[in-house]
Structure formats: C-alpha cells, structure tokens
Amino acid sequence: MTDLPLSDLAAALSRTAAERGLQLPPPTDRTQRRAVFGDEDGGRVIVHTLDRDRGVHRVQFRRQGASLASGMTAEPAAVVTAVVAWVSGASLSRTKEAAPFVHYEPWAPAHEREPFGPVELAWWHKLDSARPPRARHPLQVRQLALLEAAHAHPELRRLTPGTSHFVVWFSTTSTYPYERVGCSIEPRIDAYVVRYPGTRTAIHTATPEEAVALAVSALPKPTS
C-alpha cells in the first residue's frame, strides 16, 4: 500500500495514480484533506480523509444532480481506481467492479438510467440519510420508520420531505424557501407526536403508520 501524506491529499493521489500508469484530472477544489475531481458532464468525485492516523478516506460520487454512491477505504490505489473510473464516465456498476468498496442503494441505477425529478430525488436522499451507517442516534431508527411509512403514501410522496432535529415535515416546493403544508411529526422513544399547523394541537400515536395517516388526513383537499 502506498502511503498518502496528509499534507496534500490531491498531490498524493496523483502520485499514486502515476505509479499505476493512470492519470487523474486536476482537482476542481482542494484542501489538505479534501480533493474534488470533475468530469465533462458535471459529475464529481469528492475524496475526504477522515482518519489522519489510519489514512481512511471517504469517497462520494455525484452525477445528474444526485449523490449516487459512496464508500470508505484505507487503500490509496482503490481510491484512485474509483476516481479514474468515475471521471472517465463509468457507470455505477462498472465503478463498483473496479473498486468494490463503492456502495450504492437500489434506486441509484434507476436514476442513472433516467434521472428522477427533484421531489423523488429528495425522498431517496432523505431516506438514505436516516439509514446506517449515517444514522447513529436512536431516534434516527424511528425517524427512518416514519419516513418509510410516509413514502408509502402517494399524497405525501408528491411533497418534498424535510427534517429538523428528527422532526419530519412536508413542503409543496422542492427548493428553499420551503412552503410547509399539513402536519409535522416528531419521533420520540415512546411515541410519534403529530402537530397541526397554526394550533397547539398535538396527538400522540404508537406507530409511524398511525402518525402518517393523521398527516395525510390533514392535507389540504385538492380544489376541483
């Protein structure tokens, strides 16, 4: 394994690539512990050194406006192989074949084939953020159950999901400033708390499905 001096991650990656007969493009952004590489189609690979002692690197892959894959490795050669594949236009599956540490969720290849709209993409990103290993707080387990229950309802799935301090809310707009609509739901250790907008009314439910059913019933009725 080739050591990566942490004084300049991008330069060290370029040296590792050269040792293997590969060539990295110049980074579009760089710090001592972070390097960003781009391709002609607007895709990016972000490499970030997480552990200075062990040299553990987190690699994130973006394309078509979405974070499609990520992975962690302490092998510099694996980082370089993955970066070169991605910026050369390789698909998710091809990139993973070249660098097995790369991980992506089942929705990502579908987006790669035919990009999702902003609302659907926001749902998948929000669901991913509540899953291990990103989710570490006990309430994130309950938040994930809540998001999954909400995503199962077409009425909520057409809205953009938002979260703040584990509270889940919904918006009719997909970008800031958000236009919140309907209830917000707070997952607690022993209950799910549904709060109605503009009032002090709060209802405690035992399951996420019950909380989501209340949120659906509180949505404004479509006008004819």
Q: Where are the domains of the chain?
A: 9-113, 118-217
Residue 1: predicted pLDDT: 43
Q: Give the whole-angstrom CA distance, residue 24 versus residue 88.
A: 10
CA 103 to chain centre: 12
Q: Give the whole-angstrom CA distance, residue 107 versus residue 131.
A: 14
* Separation in Å, CA 35 to CA 13, 18, 53, 175, 213: 9, 17, 18, 27, 45
pLDDT-derived band at 2 (thresholds 50, 70, 90) equals very low
Tokens of 65: 């406006």
| Arithmetic mean of pLDDT, 114-132 | 92
- Tens of pLDDT, residue by residue over 12-69, are 999 999 999 998 999 999 998 899 999 777 789 999 998 766 679 999 999 988 999 9
Residue 64: predicted pLDDT: 86
| pTM score, whole prediction | 0.81
56-63 and 66-73: which strand pairing? antiparallel
